[in-house]
Copies of this chain bind each other. A is one copy, B any other.
Amino acid sequence: MAPVVPRSGDAIFANVERVNAELFTLTYGAIVRQLLTDLEEVDEVNKQLDQMGYNIGIRLIDEFLAKSNVSRCVDFKETAEVIAKVGLKMFLGVTATVTNWDVEGTTCSLILEDNPLVDFVELPDTCQGLYYCNILSGVVRGALEMVSMKTEVTWLCDMLRGDDTFELQLKLLKQVPEEYPYKDDE
């Protein structure tokens, strides 16, 4: 059987159902504001955003696999590239550059070229410890866990905190070998 060719992020993004990015941005802002009011502690808000993202990621992976034609990645390097070029494009309409690999090939960074989550956002002085985009790190962590990769995903740079860029670090902690009850050619 001819191999299924993975579709580009652009092609997929052009064909999925979409909503206005500003509506999404403002809706996300409403979540963060709500959490800041309810939880009071910025650290708790960071945790909760990450957890919300995780819950979204473990569901979004299904849509990703169904629509992208991406099959098993040979290693974590390929996985990171697929997130940067296909996954982010498919869901947020942006891409990232993968960089800062460690020698083991288990830690890298995604540098986001654009970030629709933060349009019009400025953090007040009272929120300086906030990782505003923590939902995104949670989504990546949740999605990877569903394809047997346990990871730690953290923001190293954040333009809302005064950095020049958005840099999301992916660290592979453990890869659980998948066991199949059947063989591919059965």
Which residues of the partner chain B approach A31 to less than 8 Å between Cβ atoms? 27, 30-31, 34
Interface-forming stretch among A87-95, A100-108, A121-129, A150-158? A87-95
Residues of chain B within 8 A (CB-CB) of A59 are: 26
State which of B19, B22, B28, B52 has its C-beta within 8 Å of the C-beta of A21. Answer: B19
The yes or no answer to A132 lying at the interface (CB within 8 A) is no
A17 CB within 8 Å of chain B: yes
Contact indicator per residue, chain A 163-177, by CB within 8 Å of chain B (1) or not (0):
000000000000000
- B residues within 8 A CB of A34? 31, 34-35, 38, 48, 52
Q: Measured between alpha carbons, how far is A91 from B92 in the docked complex, in Å?
A: 15
Contact A60 B19 (CB under 8 A): no
How many residues belonging to A are interface residues under a CB distance threshold of 8 Å?
A: 31
CA distance A23 to B22 in the complex (A): 14
Given A34-B31, A34-B35, answer yes or no on A16-B21 (Cβ-Cβ < 8 Å). yes
Instruction: List residues 116-142 of chain A with CB under 8 A from any CB of chain B.
Output: 116, 135
Are B93 and A26 neighbours in the complex by a CB distance under 8 Å? no
Complex-state Cα separation, A19 to B90, whole angstroms: 8
The answer to whether B17 and A30 touch across the interface, beta carbons within 8 angstroms, is no
Residue contact A52 to B24, C-beta cutoff 8 Å: no
- Bound-state CA distance A60–B26 (Å) is 8
Q: Beyond the given A24-B24, A30-B52, could you list 20 further A-B residue pairs with CB under 8 A, ordered by the A residue number?
A: A13-B20, A16-B21, A17-B21, A17-B22, A18-B18, A18-B21, A19-B91, A19-B92, A20-B92, A20-B93, A23-B60, A26-B56, A27-B27, A27-B31, A27-B135, A30-B31, A30-B55, A34-B48, A34-B52, A38-B38
* A residues neighboring B (CB under 8 Å): 13, 16-24, 26-28, 30-31, 34-35, 38, 48, 52, 55-56, 59-60, 63, 90-93, 116, 135
